[in-house]
Chain A
Amino acid sequence: MITGHLTPFLEARDTRRRVSNLVACGTLTFLSGVAIGALFLVFGYVLYRGFPAINWAFFIETPRPVGEVGGGLANAMVGSLIILLLASLLGIPWGILTGVYLSEYGRGRLGSAVRFCSDMLSSVPSIVIGLFAYALLVVPMKHFSALAGSVALAVMMVPTIARSTEELLRLVPNHIREAGLALGVPRWKVILLIVLRGNLSAILTGVMLAIARASGETAPLLFTALNSRFLSWRVDQPIASLPVQIYTYAIAPFDDWHRQAWGGALVLVVFVFSLNLLARSVIRPKMTRD
């Protein structure tokens, strides 16, 4: 087919095409390598600096006065847990019910408005959420408090939970709902007991991811929970948290504080990674079934 005098030209073009293909594919592979490298650079360094900082005292002691070496971050870890617990109490039911509304009733105008606002809320910068919680709670209550911090985090959790719940419930085949309704079960029971309960573990995935995200947030806590040197259980008082403590220690000039900041970072990263892995292990069987 190909006439003789065109062959060298075509061959040259072929080589050029092959070379550009190689270069391009090589570049794409290299760029992926960069991402992997970045993770190892950051996580590896956190491990390298954080691991030596961790010991028993690190988990059970509270910070010592400035300049004294030693002490731990028990106050920050307990504080973080308390804030997250409170935020979950508010954020999880709110988020799940919003998701239920969106998937079961959300075809109307209110549904799209909620969906839009939820997307926008999830993109509000965390520092702005902090400002909001300060104005909403701290100033009127006349107190920095764990509560104000948890409200800020809850507001950040809701959109994630709501949208993931919605997406999941959308996957539930309609005949399941119809079967329930046909048996004369009231709709609210069908939704809560059949649709929601049947997918609880998958919904939990969204919840865990939201908690993981919230547990690393610093900016919303700066003006709300503030910080505390003490191990505090009181929700109406300032409270320490791991991210804020890491921030405070990181910008301070004391070597021992830097050491503890790395230790805190390691604890935080391991916590967040574990939640992520747990969430993935829940969702994995579902994914492969599709």
Chain B
Amino acid sequence: MPDVNTDLGHLKELAQNKFRSFGKEIHKPDRNFLWFLRIVASAVIACLLSVGLFLLLKAWPALYHTGLRFLYTNTWDPVGDVYGALPVVFGTLLSSFLALILSVPLSLGIALFVSELAPRRLARFVSFTVEMLAAIPSVVYGLWGIFVLAPWLRTVVEPFLGTYFGFLPFFQGPPYGVGMLAASLILAVMITPTISSIAREIFRAVPSNYREAALALGATRWEMIRLSVLSASWSGVLGAVVLGLGRALGETMAVTMVIGNRADISLSLFSPGQSMASVIANEYVEATSDIHLAALAEVGLLLFAVTFLVNSGARLIVLRLKTKGGGR
């Protein structure tokens, strides 16, 4: 027995040596090709790093000037050259979270319908529709927002909410039409495809014997969904939602066109606001003072950092799920 073992060990060593030299014997063109690919692929890393670096460089005067105060002061005043990012951060967060509140039930409903309920052809049609929703360019959503959504909100929805729910701070003030509510609604439609398509994949990845087990025990469809599908995939769903959040935070054009463009903090959803992305879109080419320009770059840097964190978080959740779930 020991003999066999040493023999095996010997053989393994031999083989390893053989393969190692194999690796070193790569043809020169092959090595060149590998290096070429490495350089091209590394350019992606360089690109991401330089985005951060350029923003940092451009934002430096403002960073130096205002420091951390930038994050928690709420005056955005180009005349006095005083810049606090709180209103735009607030605008971004509020519109994104509202969009999530509206979009999460919608997206999960669609994903469950497609993966659990619908007959195959109907499921395919619904998936197709959702994909087309994702394909519509942001600026077209904005156009639709200005001419269809905003007038409808101003004449129908906001007066209604104001009359019957006006005691809540969210539904007070004059109905502008364009504003936080319009931005959140448009965002909700725009992030629904992202969340629902990822959630659908996650629901599909739930092994079918989970479902069969539940059905065999006499569960209704809904009980089957609740007990075997949802409970097995909630962390993946969380990942999908976070990815949707990442998308909402950075969305620019549609939001810029309907949010109302005033850097102000108000609880009312009717009032105009400004998001991080929209303030850059509105003011960057037009900023005159150097500090104003740097402050906008700093907003860009902040937006970059926030989406980076949110998306890497989502990636972590989804990755962990993949390794835990094993190969499917």
Contacts and interface: CB of A to CB of B under 8 A. Distances in A.
A and B touch in the complex (CB under 8 A): yes
Interface of A: 17-18, 20-21, 24-25, 27-32, 34-36, 38-39, 41-43, 45-46, 49, 94, 97-98, 100-102, 104-106, 110-111, 113-114, 116-121, 123-129, 131-132, 134-136, 155, 158-159, 162, 186-188, 191, 212-213, 215-219, 222-223, 243, 246-247, 250-251, 258, 261-262, 265, 268-269, 272-273, 276
A177 to B, nearest CB: 13
Contacts of B141: 42
B263 to A, nearest CB: 16
15 contacts: A31-B106, A35-B126, A39-B133, A98-B44, A105-B34, A116-B312, A123-B250, A124-B51, A125-B303, A131-B58, A188-B30, A219-B281, A258-B147, A261-B143, A276-B131
B117 A272 contact: no
B222 A24 contact: yes
B251 interface: yes
Contacts of A41: 148
Nearest to A158: B44
B42 A114 contact: yes
Q: List the 10 closest pairs (A to B, CB-CB), nearest first.
A: A216-B137, A125-B250, A31-B109, A188-B33, A21-B220, A24-B222, A101-B37, A123-B311, A101-B41, A219-B252
B44 A216 contact: no
B85 interface: no
Given A131-B284, A188-B33, A273-B132, A124 B140 contact: no
Contact of A21 (B34, B221, B257): B221
B27 A186 contact: yes
Contacts, number: 256
Contacts of B273: none
B37 A100 contact: yes
A29 B129 contact: no
A206 to B, nearest CB: 14
Contacts of A159: 44
Contact of A24 (B33, B41, B50, B225): B225
A128 B52 CA distance: 10
Q: In terms of DSSP, what is the predominant structure of the interface of chain B?
A: helix
B284 A125 contact: no
Given A43-B136, A97-B41, A159-B44, 10 more contacts: A24-B225, A25-B222, A31-B113, A123-B250, A125-B277, A215-B137, A218-B138, A218-B139, A218-B253, A276-B135
A38 B188 CA distance: 11
B109 A27 contact: yes
Given A128-B300, A132-B55, A276-B132, A250 B40 contact: no
A114 B44 contact: yes
Contacts of B51: 121, 124, 128-129, 132
A32 B44 contact: no
Nearest to A31: B109
A24 B220 CA distance: 11
Contacts of B54: 131-132, 135-136
Contacts of B37: 97, 100-101, 104-105
A268 B137 contact: yes
A187 B30 contact: yes
Contact of A126 (B116, B246, B252): B252
B50 A132 contact: yes
A125 B279 CA distance: 13
Given A120-B312, A123-B250, A247 B137 contact: no
A59 B300 CA distance: 37
A123 B281 contact: no
B300 A127 contact: yes
